[in-house]
Structures are given as structure tokens and as C-alpha cells.
């Protein structure tokens, strides 16, 4: 066998190098580098040049003013608060709806389960934007859905309180509702995955030992599904907190969420360092739940 | 389970009603004759006709599909390489950084990914004169980057399940490493590669936020066009567009699901047969 030196090198090392190297280099250039630029940008000084930043002037190299503004300026604090509140409420509602749905999915027959799981995933494959849009149609003043809710309200309350339509569009309520709608599959799937693995004989054992159904749930099912709850919660909370599209379509423009602030600082204000500082602050906020999650997971792995 | 939990069944019904009523309502109203998108004015298909003759929509759709095909294909190649790397090479210098790089984009808010790529492209244009203009190229590069992560996840999950013994046997029989990959590994994980491509294609076709940052003049993808249109309110032709997309995707997903389900069944049956023949 007389293989060339290149062919031998390629078999021994080159092939592996190519396999690892190509995606590695791609991610370093197009993901890590842009990210590091944002971090570096967050300590730069805003200048009226193009591109609008510099590392000189009154604050050579490191300018912490953008960060101090994030922590002191009410505009940013309010936006962070709105984002966290909306994302948190959406996460809790997703859990309250998604948990019984996931539990229900584990209790139906095998063939039904396949169909229903497919139905959970299907909306995820259709356009996210159009799912948001679908709710715009339902929440509008003249829609059948709003009319139904209005009639229901007017039926319940005295005449003085009667309303013409339910003010749903352009509120935080609308933002949370649409977030719950679009992110519900993210909650159901990890919950289902963790509930499906549970051993049904444990339930039966607890029942045989005299536990009531709700006690079985609290003592047996719920503790074992905590990894699923945390995973689902993260999958809902993180994209919801950084959401840009939903508040732009159904939200209240006077109560912007943090994504909108980043976009405006960059686009309208042309203040790249400020936009970057807000982005870095948002990331720090995301890192905390991620750390809790990975620490919890490491502990769970260790327990096995 | 013997007991039939009434509560769970009713919440399932409620949950699926919640998931599907908005979509069904949108589909029904796409056949509405009235210009007011929220008032029923009789059956009509005129919004489909006006949609088909809307040049901006067709142009945006073509651009979106082009970007999605190119970025899904490159993302699948890179993502498969990364997935195989993750599952097979457990020790190499820089592996920790590598596994960080393939998970970080998943938990990074889209706004931050978008803005970091935009700043990167602007600065690159400033420093080395590339990319000269933002548009097709920059959107595609951005889409490849975050789509490949999803392919990596799907492929590495599949790789972990596959049996390494076949690959080792091929190596022992004198196959060269790249032959093993093309003859054994890739065919075995092909279902994962196909679903990875489909996932990447859909994500690229659907992306609004990142595209909105890295796009340039004249490059309006379909989601960007829809976003700018629906900000002004509900319009019947978007209802028609949504219906067409949902029906297409629904048929596609159902078909893919059935095909994958069947091939999985056949694989299991063959494995069982092979196992029995070995005894």
C-alpha cells in the first residue's frame, strides 16, 4: 500500500481536525467574537462618530457609565421589572396549564398519546409570528371572542358596570396571554418527558398504603417531576424575558420590555455602548436561573 | 391506569382548545368577504386571489425560501459535524469551550444574538470592507449560526443512542476514518440529519428577530414583511397567508411524522429479527 503522506496524515489527524475544526471555527467567528464585541462595547464611550463609540476621552478604556445608568435610571429598571414580571407570570401560568396537560398525556392510551403529542408540537412548527397574529384577531374590539367575553361580563355584573368591549389589546395582560399561548409547548414537552418516566407502581404502592389521590400527587408524583418543572420553566422564562415581537404587536407601548429598549438604544438613539450594557445586564439576569438549573441538574445526576 | 381522571381529561380538552381555537378562528376568517377582518361578511376566497397577485409577498416568500434552503443545508453539514464531535470525541483540547459554544446560543435571548451579529457585521464592514451590504448574505450567515445548534442537539442525541461496535468493526476491517463515517455513521443517523434539516429550515423560515437586526435595504423576508404589516392591525390577506402556511406545514409535519414512525418501526423489527437470527 503506497498511500501519499497527505492521505496518511489526513486519516490519522486531518479528518478529525476537519470534523472538529469546521464547526468550531464557525462558532468562534460568528458567535463568540460578536458576543465578545458586545461585552467590550458595553464599557466603551458613546461618540457622535461612525461607528458611534470610542475608548478614549474622559473614560479611557473602561467606561462604566452605561452600567450605572442601567442600575439607576428608572427607564431601564422599569423595563427590567416589566420583563421579569411578564415572563414570570407567563411561566407560572404555563406550569399551571401545562402540568395537568402533561400528566393527562401520560394517562391516555398509547395511540391517543402519539396523536396528542403531535398536536402539542404542531403549533411549534407553524409560524411564531402568525400565532401571535391569531390572538390579535381574537382580542380586537370587534372580534367574536371579545364579544363573547363582553356579553359574559355584562351578564354577571349590574347594568352600571356594563362595558362595550373588553380592553385586551395593548396591555400587559395581552402580552402574558400570548406568551402563555406561544410558549406552552415548551413547558408541556419537558414535563411530559419527566412524568412519562415515572414508575406507575409507585403510585399504586402509595395508594395501597392508604394515601389519598392528592397525597399521592404531592408526595410521589410532584417531587419526582421537579427536573421537568425547572427545565420547562427555563424554556419559557428565558425567551419570554427577552421577547421583542409579542410586546411590539399586542403590548402597551408606554410600558416597554427590555428587548424593545435594546432595539431603541441601538437604532433610534444610536447609543451602542448603552444598548450593549442593557444586553449584558439582561444576560446576567438570564445566567442566574441557568446556574440554578445546572447546579440542580448536577446534584440530581450525583444522586443517581 | 384503571381510574379515568375526569379532571385531567377536561384540562386536556381545555388545553387543546386554547392551542387550536385561535388558529381555527384565523382560518375561518381568511374566507371572510368583509374587509373588516373581525366582522363576518359571507364566504369568499378573494383574499387568496389578492395575496397571490401581491408581488411584495411573492418576492419576500421567494427570498425567505432561498435563505432557508441555503442556511438549513450549511447548518445541517456543520451541525452534524458538531454533533458527531460532541458524541464521539470526548477528549480534545478546547472541548469545554466547544460544548459551551453549542449550548450558549440556545439560551441566549434572540435580541442579544441579533444585536451582537449586527454590530459584528457593521464593524467588519468598517475594518475589512466585508460584508459590503447587509441582506441575503448576512441573514444567511446569522441563520446558519443559530440553526446549526439545533441540528447539533438532534444529531448528538441520536449519536449517543447508536452502537459504536459497528463503527469499530468497520475500522478493524480496514476502512479509513472518513469511509466509516460516510458508509456507517451517516446512514445510521440519517433520520436525525433529516429532522435536523427540517428543523433548521423551519426555524430559518420563521425567524423575525435576528433577521430584523441583520437585514439591509431591499432584503425583506416574509416574516419581516408580515411583522411590518400586522403592526398596523389585522388584515384579511394575512389571514389567508397564515392559513396557507399552516396547512402546508401541517401536511408536511404529519407526512414527516408518519414516514419517521414507519421507518422507526421497520428498524425495530429488523433489529429484532437480526437479534433472533444471531441466537
The owner of cell 414535563 is A191
- Nearest-Cα distance to chain A for B48, in Å, is 16
- Give the number of residues written for chain B: 279
Chain B residues with CB-CB distance to A272 below 8 A = 119
3-state helix, strand, coil in chain B (%, to 5): 80, 0, 20
The reported pLDDT for the residue numbered B107 is: 82
Task: Map chain A to HEC letters.
Answer: CCCCHHHHHHHHHHHHHHHHHHHHHHHHHHHHHHHHHHHHHCCCEECCCCCCEECCCCCCCCCCHHHHHHHHCHHHHHHHHHHHHHHHHHHHHHHHHHHHHHHHHHHCCHHHHHHHHHHHHHHHHCCHHHHHHHHHHHHCCCCHHHHHHHHHHHHHCCHHHCCCCCCCCCCHHHHHHHHHHHHHHHHHHHHHHHHHCCCHHHHHHHHHCCCCHHHHHHHHHHHHCHHHHHHHHHHHHHHHHCCCHHHHHHCCCCCCCHHHHHHHHHHCCCCHHHHHHHHHHHHHHHHHHHHHHHHHHHHHHHHC
pLDDT tens digits along A230-252: 889 998 999 999 999 999 999 99
* Exposure class string for A82-103: b at 16+ Cβ within 10 A, else e: bbbbbbbbbbebbbebbbbbbb
Query: What is the distance between the alpha carbons of residues B7 and A104, in angstroms, rounded to a whole number?
Result: 9
Residues A152-185 pLDDT 10s: 988 988 888 888 888 889 999 999 999 999 999 9
Q: Residue B222 domain-assigned?
A: yes
For residue B222, which of B235, B203, B206, B234 has the smallest C-alpha distance? B206
Asked whether residue B1 is domain-assigned, the answer is no
Residue closest to B226 by CA, chosen among B100, B74, B63, B87: B63
Paired strand residues for A45: A54
Neighbours of A268 (CB within 10 A): 8
pLDDT of residue B2: 41
Q: Which of chain B's residues have a Cβ under 8 Å away from the Cβ of A22?
A: 78, 81
Residue B166 located in a structural domain: yes
Q: How many CA atoms lie within 13 A of B173 on its CB side?
A: 10
Greater confidence, B175 or A258? Answer: A258
In a domain, B23, yes or no: no
- Comparing alpha-carbon positions, the chain B residue that sits nearest to A260 is B111
User: Chain B interface, mutation test: which of A9, A22, A24, A40, most B Cβ atoms within 10 Å?
Assistant: A24
Span A14-39, average pLDDT: 94
Q: What is the pLDDT of residue B278?
A: 65
* In-domain check, residue B140: yes
Record: contact B22-A137, CB cut-off 8 A:
yes
- Residue A182: phi, psi to the nearest 5? -75, -30
C-alpha cell at B191: 433520520
Res A96: pLDDT: 95
Entry field: residues in chain A: 304
pLDDT 10s per residue in chain B (279 long)? 445 578 888 889 999 999 999 999 988 988 988 877 667 888 888 889 988 888 999 999 999 999 999 999 999 999 999 999 998 888 888 899 999 999 888 888 899 999 999 999 999 999 998 888 899 999 999 999 999 999 999 999 889 888 888 888 988 898 888 888 898 899 989 989 998 998 899 899 999 999 999 999 889 999 999 999 888 877 788 889 888 888 887 787 777 777 777 877 887 888 788 777 765
Q: Rounded to the nearest 5°, which phi and psi values hold at B216?
A: -135, 180
Q: What is the pLDDT of residues A113-152, one digit of tens each?
A: 888 998 898 887 788 998 999 999 899 888 889 989 999 9
Alpha carbon distance A262, A283 (integer Å)? 12
A186-222 per-position pLDDT tens digit: 999 999 999 988 888 888 888 888 888 888 888 888 8
Q: Is the dihedral of CA A291, A296, A299, A301 positive or negative?
A: negative
Minimal Cβ distance to B206: which of A114, A127, A184: A127
Contacts of A114 in chain B (CB under 8 A): 261
User: B198 has which bridge partners?
Assistant: none
Q: A276 with A51: CB under 8 angstroms?
A: no
Domain total of chain B: 1
Contacts of B116 (CB under 8 A, 6+ apart): A34, A35, A37, A38, A279
What region does A242 belong to: left with phi over 0, alpha with psi -120 to 50, or beta?
alpha
Quote the pLDDT of residue B1: 43
* Inter-chain touch B253–A118, beta carbons under 8 Å: yes
Side-chain-side CA neighbours of A250 within 13 Å: the count stands at 28
* A4 has a pLDDT exceeding 70: yes
* CATH number where B233 lies: 1.10.3720.10
Residue A302 has pLDDT above 70, yes or no: no
Domain layout of chain A by residue ranges: 73-303
Residues 86 through 125 of chain A touching chain B, CB cutoff 8 Å? 97-98, 100-101, 103-105, 107-108, 114, 116, 118-123, 125
Cis peptide before B267 (omega within 30 of 0): no
| Residue from A154, A150, A145 nearest A181 by CA | A145
Residues A145, B39: C-beta atoms closer than 8 Å: no
Q: Which chain A residue has its CA at the smallest distance from B240's CA?
A: A130
| ipTM score for this prediction | 0.89
* CATH of span A73-303: 1.10.3720.10
Angle between helices A172-196 and A226-241 (to 10 degrees): 150
Q: How far apart are CA A189 and CA A232, in angstroms?
A: 8
| A153 vs A155: CA distance, rounded Å | 5
Give the model's pLDDT for residue A216. 84
Question: Measuring CA to CA, which residue among A198, A205, A181, A183 is closest to residue A105?
Answer: A198
Indicate the pLDDT class of residue A39, thresholds 50, 70 and 90: very high
At A3 the pLDDT is 66
Amino acid at each position: 500500500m503506497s498511500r501519499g503522506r497527505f492521505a496518511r496524515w489526513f486519516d490519522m489527524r486531518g479528518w478529525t481536525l476537519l470534523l472538529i475544526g469546521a464547526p468550531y471555527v464557525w462558532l468562534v467567528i460568528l458567535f463568540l467574537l460578536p458576543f465578545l464585541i458586545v461585552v467590550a462595547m458595553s464599557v466603551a464611550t458613546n461618540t457622535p462618530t461612525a461607528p458611534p463609540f470610542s475608548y478614549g476621552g474622559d473614560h479611557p478604556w473602561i467606561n462604566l457609565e452605561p452600567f450605572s445608568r442601567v442600575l439607576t435610571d428608572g427607564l431601564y429598571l422599569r423595563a427590567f421589572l416589566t420583563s421579569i414580571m411578564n415572563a414570570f407570570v407567563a411561566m407560572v401560568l404555563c406550569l399551571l396549564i401545562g402540568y395537568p396537560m402533561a400528566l393527562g398525556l401520560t394517562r391516555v392510551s398509547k395511540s391517543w398519546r402519539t396523536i396528542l403529542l403531535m398536536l402539542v408540537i404542531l403549533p411549534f412548527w407553524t409560524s411564531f409570528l402568525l400565532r401571535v397574529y391569531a390572538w390579535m384577531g381574537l382580542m380586537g374590539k370587534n372580534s367574536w371572542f371579545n364579544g363573547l367575553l363582553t356579553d359574559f361580563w355584562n351578564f354577571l355584573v349590574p347594568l352600571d358596570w356594563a362595558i362595550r368591549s373588553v380592553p385586551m389589546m395593548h396591555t400587559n395582560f395581552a402580552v402574558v396571554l400570548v406568551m402563555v399561548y406561544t410558549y406552552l409547548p415548551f413547558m408541556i414537552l419537558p414535563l411530559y418527558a419527566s412524568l412519562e418516566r415515572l414508575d406507575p407502581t409507585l403510585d399504586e404502592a402509595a395508594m395501597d398504603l392508604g394515601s389519598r389521590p392528592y397525597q399521592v400527587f404531592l408526595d410521589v408524583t410532584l417531587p419526582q417531576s421537579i427536573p421537568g418543572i425547572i427545565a420547562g420553566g427555563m424554556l419559557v422564562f428565558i425567551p419570554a424575558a427577552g421577547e421583542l415581537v409579542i410586546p411590539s404587536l399586542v403590548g402597551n407601548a408606554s410600558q416597554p420590555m427590555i428587548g424593545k429598549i435594546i432595539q431603541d438604544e441601538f437604532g433610534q438613539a444610536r447609543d451602542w455602548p448603552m444598548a450593549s450594557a442593557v444586553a449584558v445586564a439582561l444576560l446576567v439576569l438570564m445566567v442566574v436561573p441557568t446556574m440554578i438549573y445546572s447546579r440542580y441538574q448536577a446534584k440530581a445526576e450525583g444522586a443517581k | 391506569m384503571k381510574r379515568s381522571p375526569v379532571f385531567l381529561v377536561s384540562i386536556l380538552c381545555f388545553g387543546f382548545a386554547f392551542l387550536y381555537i385561535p388558529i381555527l378562528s384565523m382560518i375561518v376568517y381568511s374566507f371572510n368577504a368583509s374587509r373588516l377582518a373581525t366582522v363576518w361578511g359571507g364566504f369568499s376566497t378573494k383574499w387568496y386571489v389578492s395575496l397571490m397577485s401581491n408581488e411584495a409577498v411573492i418576492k419576500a416568500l421567494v427570498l425567505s425560501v432561498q435563505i432557508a434552503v441555503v442556511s438549513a443545508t450549511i447548518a445541517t453539514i456543520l451541525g452534524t459535524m458538531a454533533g458527531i464531535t460532541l458524541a464521539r470525541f470526548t477528549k480534545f483540547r478546547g472541548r469545554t469551550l466547544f460544548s459551551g459554544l453549542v449550548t450558549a446560543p440556545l439560551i441566549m435571548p434572540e435580541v442579544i444574538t441579533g444585536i451582537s451579529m449586527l454590530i459584528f457585521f457593521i464593524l467588519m464592514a468598517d475594518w475589512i470592507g466585508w460584508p459590503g451590504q447587509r441582506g441575503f448574505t448576512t441573514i444567511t450567515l446569522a441563520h446558519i449560526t443559530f440553526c446549526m445548534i439545533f441540528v447539533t442537539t438532534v444529531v448528538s442525541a441520536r449519536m449517543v443512542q447508536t452502537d459504536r461496535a459497528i463503527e469499530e468493526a468497520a475500522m478493524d476491517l480496514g476502512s479509513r476514518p472518513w469511509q466509516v463515517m460516510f458508509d456507517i455513521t451517516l446512514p445510521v443517523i440519517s433520520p436525525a440529519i433529516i429532522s435536523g434539516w427540517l428543523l433548521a429550515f423551519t426555524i430559518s423560515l420563521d425567524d423575525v428577530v435576528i433577521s430584523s437586526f441583520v437585514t439591509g435595504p431591499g432584503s425583506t423576508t416574509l416574516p419581516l414583511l408580515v411583522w411590518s404589516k400586522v403592526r398596523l392591525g389585522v388584515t384579511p390577506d394575512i389571514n389567508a397567508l397564515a392559513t396557507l402556511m399552516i396547512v402546508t406545514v401541517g401536511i408536511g409535519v404529519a407526512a414527516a411524522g408518519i414516514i419517521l414512525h414507519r421507518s422507526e418501526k421497520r428498524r425495530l423489527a429488523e433489529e429484532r429479527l437480526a437479534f433472533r437470527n444471531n441466537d
